[in-house]
Amino acid sequence: MAATRERVKYAAGTARPYVERALTDEEFRQNLRDAFAAARAIYRELGGYGGISSVATRVAGDEEIHANLRRAIGELRQAADRIQEREQPKSHALRNIALLATGVAIGIFFNPFTGRSTRSWVKGKVTHSNGSVAPGSTNGSNGLT
C-alpha cells in the first residue's frame, strides 16, 4: 500500500510542471482547440456512414479528410512540443554557407592553373602594394606566395 502511494506521489510530482504549463500556455491551448476542430470536421464527414468498410473507403479516398487528419496531427505535435518545452530544430544554413564558401575559396586558391596568380593578386590587394598582378596572368614566381 505504501509503495502504491509513493508511485502516485511520484507520478503527480512528475506531471505537475506539464499541468502548470498546460494551464498557463495560451498557444498550447490554441493548438489543442485547432486539433479538436479538425477532428470534429473529420467526425462530421464520416458521421453518415454506417459500416467500417464504408468509413475506411471514405477515409482512404477523401482529400478533405486527409487534410484534416494532417492538420490535427500537426496541431497535436505542436501542442506536445509546447508542453514538453522542446525547441524547434536549429537551422544550419549559415554553417552550410560558410563551409561552401570555404570550399570554393580553397578550390580557387589552390587550383593548379590559376592558384598562384590568384594568391598573388589577393596578396597585393590585402597589402595594398602597387605591383599587384591580375588574376590569370603569371608573375614568374615558382613557389607559393
131: pLDDT strictly greater than 60: no
Stretch among 9-18, 47-56, 119-128 having the lowest mean pLDDT:
47-56
62: pLDDT strictly greater than 50: yes
4: pLDDT strictly greater than 80: yes
142: pLDDT strictly greater than 50: no
Residue boundaries of the structural domains of the chain? 2-83, 92-145
- Give the number of residues written for the chain: 145
Q: What is the pLDDT of residues 17-32, one digit of tens each?
A: 878 877 888 888 888 8
From CA 133, how far away is CA 31, in angstroms rounded?
63
128 phi and psi angles, rounded to 5 deg: 60, 35
The position carrying cell 476542430 is 37
pTM over 0.95? The answer is no
DSSP per-residue letters across 74-109: HHHHHHHHHHTTPPPPPP-HHHHHHHHHHHHHHHHH
